[in-house]
């Protein structure tokens, strides 16, 4: 396979496999006639905007479904082994979101009616008019696009906490997810702004993966990482002899990204001379490699990112105002972690899951005081800093529980106002006082989580960043009952 891995690794019943909401639609052609298969592949590849794979039999097509999930299948009926109608029946049972077009040279009214009753999208007799099958496929692909839009809307309504590599349940992140979805499958230039470590490149990759350009890899360049002269040749390319050392033609990143997306990371550091050339590319949609006298048209979707105050740089004469207007067609603001504290436990547990699996330390868990410390830290480095702290703690933790010391420090000290609301524990031995205070905190935390979820243990566990079973164990340990927190019920006595 050369078109990417599977959408789901194994068949599942009742349409449990979701429609993939990114990349060009996928079409699988199935026929035991090699000449017919080759003709169909050329026709579909030329006429329709989609990725195409072929299978020489129904059995091979069924095997391919577990590795490369198509949106549309065009299949012959008469084939050795698994025939087209049997393939249709299996697909309709396990993958109802896939549209199937049936074709045969042995067609009759009964066969056509039967295939349509079995759920085929269309029935085409051989020999067929090429425009007929193209028209049928285009209608199928339109259905795919509608299904994808519907899935995106359902995900938005469901308030999913995971989106194209992001994790977040906070209102700010949900707003960001919604904006990315809205503009992803367009060609407008997008400027992604936010502090260092907030996930600006992730946002760019989400924009790309949800666009029609996702079939080609996104190209990224870090503007401040290269000197001006090298950056110019990297972006626009050059021809042989353009300067000393140019011994052969070089294709620049704009040409590399033709038909795809180009991320200009940290655009605020782009030199003024290159800003002028970039402005021309955005206006004219063409580039001129160094040493060449004619322009080359390019079809590139430009996404730029920055953590700088571009308006301030304009006032200092360091950034072109007209370039900002060209880049700033749509602005995606990535919120700092300080403005989405409710996402910290979710992110911390996602990173814990990732790195415990990566380093073979599956039994590791956060101590409650470590989780509290994560919530109290200011995180100037945002999500990237949190990720690095969790990664380091997984590598260095001595035991099965990650404590504050494993996170690189002690919990933030309480203010006098915080301490005023606590009973004095100074007369107790340190370990006894610590356990007493920790127990009070845990019971109060669990109770508040249950109150917020109206006694729904599953929702409370998710909001707390804990697994349902772990949350239930803590609830039982501290003598709490979810039913006691349901509306109209008497709350437990503190």
Q: Say if residue 222 is in the same domain as residue 248.
A: yes
Mean predicted confidence (pLDDT) in 271-286: 91
Mean predicted confidence (pLDDT) in 336-349: 89
Last residue of a domain, one of 352, 387, 413: 413
Q: Say if residue 115 is in the same domain as residue 201.
A: no
Q: Say if residue 435 is in the same domain as residue 297.
A: no
Mean predicted confidence (pLDDT) in 416-423: 42
Name the pLDDT band for 12 (thresholds 50, 70, 90): very low
Q: Say if residue 234 is in the same domain as residue 274.
A: yes
Residue 156, in any domain of the structure: no
% of the chain at pLDDT higher than 90: 30
CATH of the domain at 484: 1.10.10
What's residue 158's pLDDT? 47
Say if residue 409's pLDDT is above 90.
Answer: no
Residue 14, in any domain of the structure: no
Q: How many domains does the chain have?
A: 4
% of the chain at pLDDT higher than 70: 81
What's residue 5's pLDDT? 39
CATH of the domain at 245: 3.40.50.300
What's residue 452's pLDDT? 81
Say if residue 15's pLDDT is above 80.
Answer: no
What's residue 129's pLDDT? 82
Name the pLDDT band for 10 (thresholds 50, 70, 90): very low
Neighbours of 2 (CB within 10 A): 6
Q: Sign of dihedral through CA atoms 183, 184, 185, 188?
A: positive
Name the pLDDT band for 250 (thresholds 50, 70, 90): confident
Residue 491, in any domain of the structure: yes
What's residue 413's pLDDT? 41
Say if residue 307's pLDDT is above 90.
Answer: yes
Q: Say if residue 173 is in the same domain as residue 311.
A: yes
157-193 pLDDT per residue, tens: 444 555 666 788 888 888 999 999 999 989 999 999 9
Q: Which has more confidence, 413 or 325? A: 325
Name the pLDDT band for 22 (thresholds 50, 70, 90): low
Residue 18, in any domain of the structure: no
Mean predicted confidence (pLDDT) in 214-232: 88
Q: Say if residue 43 is in the same domain as residue 118.
A: yes
What's residue 485's pLDDT? 67
Q: Say if residue 274 is in the same domain as residue 208.
A: yes
Residue 318, in any domain of the structure: yes
Domain boundaries, position 394: 338-413
Residue 7, in any domain of the structure: no
Mean predicted confidence (pLDDT) in 211-215: 88
What's residue 261's pLDDT? 95
What's residue 111's pLDDT? 74
Say if residue 260's pLDDT is above 90.
Answer: yes
Mean predicted confidence (pLDDT) in 425-439: 62
Range in 169-178, 233-242, 287-296, 419-428 the model is least confident about: 419-428
Mean predicted confidence (pLDDT) in 281-296: 85
CATH of the domain at 364: 1.10.8.60
Last residue of a domain, one of 285, 312, 335: 335
Range 418-421, long-range pairs (CB < 8 A, 24+ positions)? none
Q: Say if residue 193 is in the same domain as residue 317.
A: yes
Residue 16, in any domain of the structure: no
Last residue of a domain, one of 355, 378, 413: 413
Say if residue 156's pLDDT is above 80.
Answer: no
Residue 419, in any domain of the structure: no
Q: Which has more confidence, 424 or 282? A: 282
Q: Say if residue 118 is in the same domain as residue 167.
A: no
Q: Which has more confidence, 414 or 484? A: 484
Q: Say if residue 204 is in the same domain as residue 306.
A: yes
Average pLDDT of the chain is 80
Mean predicted confidence (pLDDT) in 377-389: 90
Say if residue 153's pLDDT is above 60.
Answer: no
Half-sphere exposure of 397 (CA within 13 A, CB side): 27
Name the pLDDT band for 39 (thresholds 50, 70, 90): very high
Q: Say if residue 211 is in the same domain as residue 260.
A: yes
What's residue 417's pLDDT? 39
Q: Say if residue 101 is in the same domain as residue 185.
A: no
């Amino acid at each position: 396979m050369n078109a990417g891995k599977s959408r789901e690794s194994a068949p599942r019943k009742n349409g449990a496999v979701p429609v993939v909401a990114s990349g060009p639609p996928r079409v699988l052609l199935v026929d035991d006639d090699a000449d017919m298969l080759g003709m169909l592949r050329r026709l579909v590849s030329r006429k329709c905007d989609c990725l195409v794979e072929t299978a020489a039999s129904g059995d091979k097509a069924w095997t391919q479904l577990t590795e490369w999930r198509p949106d549309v299948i065009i299949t012959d009926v008469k084939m050795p082994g698994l025939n087209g109608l049997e393939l249709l029946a299996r697909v309709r049972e396990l993958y109802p979101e896939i549209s199937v077009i049936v074709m045969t040279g042995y067609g009759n009214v009964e066969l056509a009616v039967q295939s349509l009753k079995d759920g085929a999208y269309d029935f085409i007799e051989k020999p067929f008019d090429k425009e007929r099958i193209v028209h049928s496929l285009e209608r199928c692909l339109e259905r795919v696009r509608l299904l994808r839009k519907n899935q995106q809307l359902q995900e938005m309504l469901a308030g999913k906490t995971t989106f194209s590599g992001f994790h977040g349940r906070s209102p700010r992140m949900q707003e960001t997810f919604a904006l990315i979805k809205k503009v992803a499958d367009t060609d407008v230039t997008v400027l992604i702004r936010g502090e260092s470590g907030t996930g600006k490149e992730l946002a760019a990759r989400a924009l790309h993966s949800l666009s029609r350009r996702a079939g080609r890899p996104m190209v990224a360049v870090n503007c401040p990482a290269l000197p001006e002269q090298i950056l110019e040749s990297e972006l626009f390319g050059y021809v042989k002899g353009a300067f000393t050392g140019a011994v052969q033609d070089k294709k620049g990143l704009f040409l590399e990204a033709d038909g795809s997306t180009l991320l200009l990371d940290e655009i605020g550091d782009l030199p003024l001379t290159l800003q002028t050339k970039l402005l021309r590319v955005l206006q004219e949609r063409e580039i001129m490699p160094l040493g060449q006298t004619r322009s080359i048209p390019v079809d590139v979707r430009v996404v730029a990112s920055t953590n700088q105050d571009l308006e301030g740089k304009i006032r200092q004469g360091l950034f072109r105002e007209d370039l900002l207007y060209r880049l700033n067609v749509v602005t995606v603001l990535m919120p700092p972690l300080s403005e989405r504290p409710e996402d910290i436990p979710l992110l911390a547990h996602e990173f814990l899951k990732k790195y415990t699996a990566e380093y073979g330390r599956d039994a590791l868990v956060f101590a409650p005081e470590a989780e509290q410390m994560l919530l109290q830290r200011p995180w100037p480095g945002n999500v990237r800093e949190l990720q690095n702290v969790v990664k380091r703690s997984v590598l260095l933790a001595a035991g099965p529980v990650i404590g504050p010391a494993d996170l690189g420090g002690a919990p933030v000290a309480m203010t006098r106002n915080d301490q005023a609301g606590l009973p004095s524990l100074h007369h107790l031995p340190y370990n006894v006082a610590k356990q007493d205070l920790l127990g009070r905190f845990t019971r109060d935390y669990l109770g508040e989580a249950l109150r917020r979820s109206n006694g729904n243990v599953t929702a409370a566990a998710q909001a707390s960043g804990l697994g349902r079973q772990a949350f239930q164990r803590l609830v039982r340990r501290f003598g709490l009952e979810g039913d006691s927190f349901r509306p109209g019920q008497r709350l437990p006595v503190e």
